[in-house]
Amino acid sequence: MGARLNPFASPLAGKALKHFVAAGKVIEESSLPPVTQELVKIRASQINGCGFCTDMHTKDAAAAGETSVRLNLVAVWREATVFTDAERAALELTEEGTRIADASGGVSDEVWANAAKHYDEDQLMALVSLIALINSFNRMNVMLTMPAGDYKPGQYA
């Protein structure tokens, strides 16, 4: 299966994506732990069915030292014992923020309060921004049917 359009060959996509990438750099440089950032990107990508982003972020996480056990359990984090309470709170916020249309009122106060127990205001803003950004990337890649499997860690760094 090939992509419907090649965003890497599109001048318009290049102009738009440079802003997405710049936003991602700001988040990467925040105090939100890099491991948490990758877990969030993986979980949102799984929920959205974005093979391209799931491929990218699982490989980048593995290259950064994440274990295969944890990577294999992201989709079932609620039943897994390998995630910290802070990571679990970030994954829960990711799920509600990604499935925002599925819940009346969006993200629940309970989920927000749980995340706020583990992250300061800057980290929460980074987390919210990251969830919004990865959802944007996921939606674009799903609409374009970007293929998964060929990504090499750090390929777009």
Whether residue 63 lies inside any domain: the answer is yes
Whether residue 103 lies inside any domain: the answer is yes
Whether residue 18 lies inside any domain: the answer is no
The residue segments making up the domain with residue 73 are 32-144
Whether residue 2 lies inside any domain: the answer is no
Query: Mean pLDDT, the chain, as a whole number?
Result: 95
Q: How far apart are CA 67 and CA 50, in angstroms?
A: 21
pTM for the model: 0.95
Q: How far apart are CA 90 and CA 107, in angstroms?
A: 12
User: Cβ(42)–Cβ(58) under 8 Å?
Assistant: yes
Residues 6 or more apart whose CB falls under 8 angstroms from that of 116 comprise 124
pLDDT at residue 104 above 80?
no
Percent of the chain with pLDDT strictly greater than 70: 99
Q: What six digits make up the tokens of 79?
A: 């039943």
Whether residue 6 lies inside any domain: the answer is no
User: Cβ(94)–Cβ(85) under 8 Å?
Assistant: no
CATH value at residue 43 = 1.20.1290.10
pLDDT digits (tens, 9 = 90+) for 19-70: 999 999 999 999 999 999 999 999 999 999 999 999 999 999 999 999 999 9
Q: How many domains in the chain?
A: 1
Whether residue 71 lies inside any domain: the answer is yes
Whether residue 74 lies inside any domain: the answer is yes
